[in-house]
């Protein structure tokens, strides 16, 4: 086998010739170009170069082999020598013998290509970016990269597989994520048009639970779901999904969650849902929920109910809303908070249910999976 530098030179020459081809090349044409550029090469080496050429141009490149298993939720690349995957049990290192990248230049090249696919800039002047990528099979990936030397281990790439959430509440009961009594309580919460937040850490199942609860909404109601990427696909006949859009390379054309919340108000919504509240859009959402749009919902990254007010205060401050204003809006807008948690074995379950009360808002747990009901639980029934 030729050495890696020679392989890279061959691939670059083939890619330059392909740029002049009027049509997509056939496998036979690729093999012919490789043989012409390499002059003397074995059939095995031709196949290897064809594979690498495909990886350089399609999907997530050399990381496609990891994603093909179907059970992976995250891939994290920490430089050329350290690659990790998450199969729902936490991050696990890819075995050293299954080498994904040969050099730091290979990682940087892939990161740059993926950034361009997202319409983003990634270079020494702007060494980090994020975006979304569609794989050949239609799967969506959330992409983030940061270049060396800003990242000390080398260029880092993070990919998260975004799967649309279609599980029902009955499915979650069958999985052990929630028991029958709490499932009925959550159904009643939706039927009564209570506004609620689903909170939890990364990968805890917030979107899955939210989608399952939206499926319980009466079929004659119109749900407008606002997200960065399409994930909420509840089994409901009238869901309208709106997705944000990042700025292009020139820095123009961005569509934010706040923009879409304002548009949703003009679209005759019965319920407004924000897939994840992560910025100043919390101000527009709370304002919408306080203008007669009952039964709204959203998810928030927090590990417990007690963290919710401080988390929302920080987000509201990004939009210029002070603490007193945020608490006044929050007290009138949100009725219930549901906390989900991923257990060490990978099981995701409803951990807490609570309420926000008083002025300023004080969170109170009324049910915990470990300790059971607390004072005020009966008021939710």
Give the DSSP H or E segment for 276: strand 271-277
Dihedral in degrees, nearest 10, Cα atoms 293, 278, 82, 156? 120
Structure tokens belonging to residue 284: 């527009």
Structure tokens belonging to residue 211: 């989608």
Each residue's pLDDT expressed in tens, for the chain with a length of 381 residues: 456 566 777 877 877 777 677 776 777 888 888 888 887 788 888 887 777 776 666 678 889 888 887 788 899 999 999 999 998 778 899 998 888 888 898 899 899 988 888 878 899 988 998 888 887 777 788 899 999 999 988 999 999 988 776 789 999 999 999 999 999 999 999 999 999 999 999 888 899 999 999 999 999 999 999 988 888 889 999 999 998 887 776 777 889 888 999 999 999 999 999 988 988 889 988 988 887 788 999 999 998 999 999 999 999 999 899 999 999 999 999 999 999 999 887 789 999 999 998 889 999 999 999 999 888 788 776
**Chain centroid, CA 226 distance in Å:** 13
Alpha-carbon span 298 to 18, nearest angstrom: 47
Alpha-carbon span 352 to 371, nearest angstrom: 10
Alpha-carbon span 209 to 348, nearest angstrom: 10
Strand duo 196-200 + 336-342: pairing:
parallel
Q: Residue 293 burial (CB < 10 Å; 0-12/13-18/19+)?
A: buried
Q: Report pLDDT for 381.
A: 60
Rg of the chain over Cα atoms, rounded to whole angstroms, equals 24
Q: Report pLDDT for 3.
A: 61
């Amino acid at each position: 086998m030729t050495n890696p530098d020679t392989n890279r030179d061959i691939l670059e020459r083939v890619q330059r010739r392909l740029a002049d081809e009027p049509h997509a090349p056939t496998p036979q044409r690729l093999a012919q170009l490789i043989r012409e550029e390499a002059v003397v090469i074995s059939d095995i080496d031709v196949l290897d170069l064809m594979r690498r050429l495909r990886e350089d141009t399609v999907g997530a490149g050399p990381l496609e082999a990891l994603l093909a298993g179907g059970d992976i939720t995250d891939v994290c690349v920490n430089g050329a020598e350290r690659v990790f995957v998450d199969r729902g049990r936490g991050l696990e290192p890819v075995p050293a013998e299954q080498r994904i990248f040969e050099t730091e230049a290979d990682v940087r090249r892939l990161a740059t290509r993926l950034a361009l696919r997202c319409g983003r800039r990634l270079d020494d002047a702007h060494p980090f970016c994020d975006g979304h990528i569609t794989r050949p099979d239609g799967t969506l990936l959330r992409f983030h990269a940061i270049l060396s030397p800003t990242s000390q281990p080398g260029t880092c790439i993070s990919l998260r597989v975004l799967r649309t959430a279609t599980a029902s509440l009955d499915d979650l009961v069958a999985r052990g994520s929630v028991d029958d009594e709490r499932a009925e309580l959550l159904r009643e919460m939706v039927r009564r048009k209570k506004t609620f937040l689903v909170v939890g850490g990364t990968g805890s199942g917030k979107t899955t639970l939210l989608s399952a609860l939206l499926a319980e909404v009466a079929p004659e109601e119109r749900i407008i779901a606002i997200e960065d990427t399409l994930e909420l696909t509840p089994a409901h006949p009238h869901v309208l999904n709106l997705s944000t859009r990042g700025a292009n390379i020139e820095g123009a054309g961005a569509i934010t969650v706040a923009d879409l919340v304002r548009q949703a108000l003009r679209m005759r919504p019965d319920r407004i849902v924000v897939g994840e509240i992560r910025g100043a859009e919390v101000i527009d959402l709370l304002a919408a929920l306080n203008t007669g749009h009952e039964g709204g919902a959203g998810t928030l990254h927090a590990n417990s109910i007690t963290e919710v007010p401080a988390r929302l205060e920080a987000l509201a401050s990004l939009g210029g809303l002070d603490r007193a204003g945020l608490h006044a809006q929050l007290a009138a807008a949100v009725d219930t908070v549901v906390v989900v948690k991923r257990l060490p074995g990978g099981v995701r379950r409803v951990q807490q249910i609570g309420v926000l009360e008083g002025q300023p808002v004080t969170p109170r747990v009324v049910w915990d999976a470990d300790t059971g009901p607390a004072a005020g639980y009966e008021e939710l029934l």
